[in-house]
Amino acid sequence: MIPGLRLTVRELLVILGSSALVLARWLPPAARRRTAVIAAALVVAGAATALAGMRWQLMLVLAGDALLLAGAGIARLLRRRVRWWLAVPGTLVCLGLVAAGSVAAWALPVPSFPKPSGPSGVGTAVVQWTDAGRDEPGTPDAGDRRTVVVQLWYPAQPAAHDVPRARYLGRTRAEAEAVAAGAADYLGVPALLLSGPPRAHTHAVPGATPADGRFPVVLFSPGLGGVRSQNTAWAEDLASRGYVVAGVDHPYDSAAVVFADGRTVETAVAASGDPEEDDKRAAGWTAVRAADLGFVLTQLGRLDRGELGHPLAGRLDTARAAATGHSIGGAAALRAAARDDRFTAVINLDGGIGPDQGPVRQPVLALTHAIDRPEDTRYVARLTAALEPATATNYRLTVPGSAHLTFTDAPLYLPPVPAVAGSLGRTGSVRMTTQTCAAFLDATLRGQGIDLPAALAPHGDLHVYRPTGP
């Protein structure tokens, strides 16, 4: 992958060759044939090596080449030279296809994940757990118990460069494509717009040997319709710094969850359009997610004690646990911590606050998008009301240039439109999120003497809420 362009060398050869092929018609006769031959060779070389896995964007580019060759073939068949005034619109159409494919390939790339910044390697594993004490709220079937799928990222022994890395969005290409299709369906966009992520690989090694030591745990709940892997870059970076991150898929809420038996369960949540009704629905979804987080923490404790037969046994320090989440997952993290003293700290990544949110005794870090709309002011007021009656020091950091999806992997593969992914850049967004969260976790879970205001303030507008009571 070529940095900045987000294109492979093969794709760049096809684009450059196609552009030259289309424009060769307008060169002086002495250079025309030579340029066309070289350009065609570049297109063939790039396309031949990328054919098996060619992205749809490159098909647009090749369509421009095909149209050009078809026009040249017809002219040769008729033994007539195409008049310049007829060649101009044809050239513009072909060039438009090449340009459209090139821009689409750049705007919707196969994501390239930043290298984790910590000293450890990163391993990953996926587990599936059923809570025998809870019914599944997403189905009417009596006796159907709540089952969650959890992906673990953990500090691992260093791995050789040629060891296969984990696929993004799923354990297999088929699972990744099913999850991407579910996400596209949830968002109401064509599936081809999310065809890049299933092709990507991350830095984690599936089943890698865990590093020595005992590590604090960080539980993560994704956004509404989101999936466990939506913050993989963040999770891998934290794992490289010595944390075990557990991303939770919430069935019938996450866009698509693939169970161990191959079943795919898509989201069943939807807004009604009525604010009062939607508040009630959100409260219900948040309560289910909070219960999921508590159950997963229990399972992680059992895993550490060796009850579940997992290689991470003896490596998890569940006495140092953070509840975290994005969007409604952030609200779920706050709800879980308010009801469960086992959580030591909370991170809310641009998440809302439920109307029945109780007081949170643990320290909280809330990262929010830039405040520039009237509804944003109301959101901040509600968040402030939850953070002000603090029994621990809480932090709200409003990040200029950020949007709701800035705090996820989305900037790595969505178009760099400020309203969608923010304006911090593809890797700048990830770097900001990981640095602020790592500083907060180091201070709250590890007790490191970090000056948190000094560490957080460079990233935005910081508000500190200190305990007001005795």
pLDDT of amino acid 84: 58
The mean pLDDT value for 122-131 works out to 98
**pLDDT tens digits along 15-25:** 888 898 888 87
pLDDT of amino acid 79: 56
**pLDDT tens digits along 198-215:** 999 999 999 999 999 999
Three-point CA angle 283, 284, 287, nearest 5°: 85
pLDDT of amino acid 395: 97
Answer whether 204's CB lies under 8 Å from 236's CB.
yes
Looking at per-residue confidence, does 273 or 370 come out higher?
A: 370
Decide: helix, strand or coil at residue 264: strand
Q: Which of 16-20, 260-264, 373-377, 460-464 has the lowest mean pLDDT?
A: 373-377
Please, which pLDDT band fits residue 270 given cuts at 50, 70 and 90? confident
Q: Which residue has the tokens 């509600």?
A: 382
What are the residues facing 126 on neighbouring strands? 151
The mean pLDDT value for 448-468 works out to 95
Highest mean pLDDT among 85-94, 288-297, 356-365, 414-423: 288-297
pLDDT of amino acid 461: 96
Decide: helix, strand or coil at residue 31: helix
Torsion angle of C-alpha atoms 297, 302, 305, 308, degrees rounded to 10:
-130
pLDDT of amino acid 9: 83
What would the two tokens of residue 329 be?
């997952």
- Judged by phi (left if over 0) then psi (alpha if -120 to 50, else beta), residue 109 lies in beta
> For 203-261, what is the HEC assignment?
CCEECCCECCCCEEEEEEECCCCCCCCCCHHHHHHHHHCCCEEEEEECCCCCCEEECCC
pLDDT of 127 > 90? The answer is yes
Q: Which of 127-131, 207-211, 248-252, 270-274 has the lowest mean pLDDT?
A: 270-274
pLDDT of 388 > 80? The answer is yes
Q: Which of 39-53, 366-380, 408-422, 439-453 has the lowest mean pLDDT?
A: 39-53
Please, which pLDDT band fits residue 257 given cuts at 50, 70 and 90? very high
pLDDT of amino acid 320: 98
Contacts of 386 (CB under 8 A, 6+ apart): 334, 353, 357, 360
Give the C-alpha separation, 245 to 152, whole Å.
6
pLDDT of 429 > 90? The answer is yes
pLDDT of 196 > 90? The answer is yes
Across all residues in the chain, what is the average pLDDT? Answer: 90
**pLDDT tens digits along 212-254:** 999 999 999 999 999 999 999 999 999 999 999 999 999 999 9
**pLDDT tens digits along 5-41:** 678 888 888 888 889 888 887 888 888 888 888 888 8
Task: Tell me the domain boundaries of the chain.
Answer: 9-107, 121-465
Give the C-alpha separation, 346 to 344, whole Å.
7
Please, which pLDDT band fits residue 70 given cuts at 50, 70 and 90? confident
Please, which pLDDT band fits residue 74 given cuts at 50, 70 and 90? low
pLDDT of amino acid 435: 98
Cα–Cα distance list, 202 to 26, 52, 166, 319 (Å) = 44, 21, 6, 29
Q: Which residue has the tokens 């779920």?
A: 332
Q: Which of 18-22, 93-97, 355-359, 374-378 has the lowest mean pLDDT?
A: 355-359
pLDDT of amino acid 294: 98
pLDDT of 450 > 80? The answer is yes
pLDDT of amino acid 470: 56
pLDDT of amino acid 198: 96
pLDDT of 337 > 70? The answer is yes
Q: Which of 132-141, 153-162, 330-339 has the lowest mean pLDDT?
A: 132-141
Topology (CATH level 3) of domain 121-465: Rossmann fold (3.40.50)
pLDDT of 50 > 80? The answer is no
pLDDT of 122 > 70? The answer is yes
pLDDT of amino acid 82: 58
Percent of the chain with pLDDT over 90: 65
